[in-house]
Amino acid sequence: MMYIILISLICGILSGYFILPENIISSLDSIASFALNLLILSVGIDLGLNKEVFYKLKKTGFKVLLVPLSIIFGSLIGGLIAGFIFNMPSNLSLSIASGFGWYSLSGVILSNICGAEAGTIAFLTNVFRELFAVLTISLLADKLTKITAIAPAGATSMDTTLPLIAEATDEETVVISFINGALLSSLVPILVPLLYNLK
């Protein structure tokens, strides 16, 4: 799976550089959104057909929340460590880490709060998180446990990376992944400004 993703990325770069005209860029966003929504629809249909998954999740109960709570804790600890390494104020490093991979929103929020430099760092940090997730989801599911494949995806586990998680894991993990993504996505606009203001 990881090789297919890398080959697709390389083919896209080469096509964009050597073959496709520049005016296609305006259409790419619409094409990507359509393809992503189609993939999410197929994941939803697959889940809907497997009714046993929801019964298993009902039995699991509040343990489902351990996944997003662990990801929040791990992301914030990682943000603090990175901030210490790069001599960054802890409130800024925590607010960047609390983007949880949602680069467009966290970048905009931090740009508005404390300027373009912080917004750019938040944007790039969360872009790289999503890229890291794309490259490691299948590897983590294969070498560790299926549930660990959700961790690098963060907030994107309900949309962008959900099809990759579905491909690498099982239906139960996909439902947990969606819940995780929904919860983290709802926390991003709260935590980013809240943690930045902890001065």
CA atoms within 13 A on the CB side of 94: 14
Average pLDDT for the chain: 85
Domain assignment present for residue 136? The answer is: yes
Domain assignment present for residue 8? The answer is: no
Domain assignment present for residue 27? The answer is: no
Domain assignment present for residue 175? The answer is: yes
* CA distances in angstroms from 168 to 24, 30, 31, listed in the order given: 31, 26, 24
Q: Residues 74-118: pLDDT tens digits?
A: 999 999 999 999 999 999 999 999 999 988 788 888 888 888 888
pLDDT at 146 over 90: yes
> How many domains, in total, are found in the chain?
1
Cβ atoms of residues 115 and 139 within 8 Å? no
Domain assignment present for residue 118? The answer is: yes
Range of the domain at 90: 52-196
Structure tokens at 110: 């931090």
Which of 21-35, 69-83, 124-138, 183-197 comes out lowest in average pLDDT?
21-35
CA-closest candidate to residue 170, choices 65, 61, 57, 79: 57
Structure tokens at 181: 């993504």
CA-closest candidate to residue 68, choices 143, 155, 135: 155
CA-closest candidate to residue 164, choices 174, 155, 175: 174
Q: How many CB atoms lie within 10 A of CB 105?
A: 18
**pLDDT for the residue 182:** 85
Domain assignment present for residue 104? The answer is: yes
Domain assignment present for residue 21? The answer is: no
Integer Cα distance of 31 and 107 in angstroms: 24
Q: Residues 120-145: pLDDT tens digits?
A: 899 889 889 998 999 999 999 999 99
* AA letter at 131: L
